[in-house]
Amino acid sequence: MTTPQTLDDLRQQLIQWKGIDIAKTSNPVPGDGNPKAAIVFVGEAPGQREDELGKPFVGQAGKLLDELLASIDLKREDVYITNVVKFRPPENRDPTPEEKAACLPFLQLELAIIRPKVIVPLGRHALTQFFTNISITDAHGKPRKLTDSLSIFPLYHPAAALHNPNLKQTLFEDMKALGKFLRE
């Protein structure tokens, strides 16, 4: 890969890339949102709706993510939203370690271009791209410094909360804590 300078260059590279099998059977779903965002949300992998529309978090989990953002007065246009894996795993299975490793350079390049202050991994697949030895159960709802100028603030994945009212409540509480952290 030549190093892309802009998100548009990176999107073009992703469209042409066929490095894993699911890149040949599904549509590329690049990140979306404000290229100058101070905060980036990172999900797991696209689902059916995302595959159809080529945009991240546009299905049921995306609706909940919109509500979570609105709960701290943020809109999609204020943030950047992306996934670890840029293609839909069939039957919504978990992405494999190989798929995650193969797609990681795209995430790293997105982050290098945007240079956010806060990254919010949604769920364990995204969390383990930043910290390998902690669980989402222990890490959710609190900031951790990755470098002096970059914090990681993990949240549960919105899809996990869709059918679990307790988790949904925790997610909204954690989001409130994120809002407070962003204001500080």
Task: Give least dist CB 51 to ligand URA, A.
Answer: 9
Question: 88 or 178, CB closer to ligand URA?
Answer: 88
Question: 45 or 118, CB closer to ligand URA?
Answer: 45
Task: Give least dist CB 161 to ligand URA, A.
Answer: 12
Residue located via tokens 């709706």:
49
Contact residues for ligand URA, defined by CB under 6 A: 43-47, 50, 56-57, 59, 61-62, 83, 159
Question: 44 or 99, CB closer to ligand URA?
Answer: 44
Q: Which two tokens stand for residue 14?
A: 């992703």
Using DSSP bridges, classify how beta strands 150-152 and 32-33 pair: parallel, antiparallel or unpaired.
unpaired
Task: Give least dist CB 67 to ligand URA, A.
Answer: 14
Task: Give least dist CB 102 to ligand URA, A.
Answer: 17
DSSP letter string, 76-89: GGGSEEEESSSSPP
Task: Give least dist CB 17 to ligand URA, A.
Answer: 18
Collapse the DSSP code of 173 into the 3-class scheme (helix H, G, I; strand E, B; otherwise coil) and give the result: helix
Q: What b/e string do you get for 88-127 counting C-beta neighbours within 10 Å, with b at 16 or more?
A: bbeeeeebeeebbebbeebbebbbebbebebbbbbbbbbb
Question: 5 or 164, CB closer to ligand URA?
Answer: 164
Q: Tell me the residue number closest to ligand URA, measured at CB.
A: 43
Looking from the CA of 3 toward its CB, the CA atoms found within 13 Å total 6
Question: 114 or 147, CB closer to ligand URA?
Answer: 114
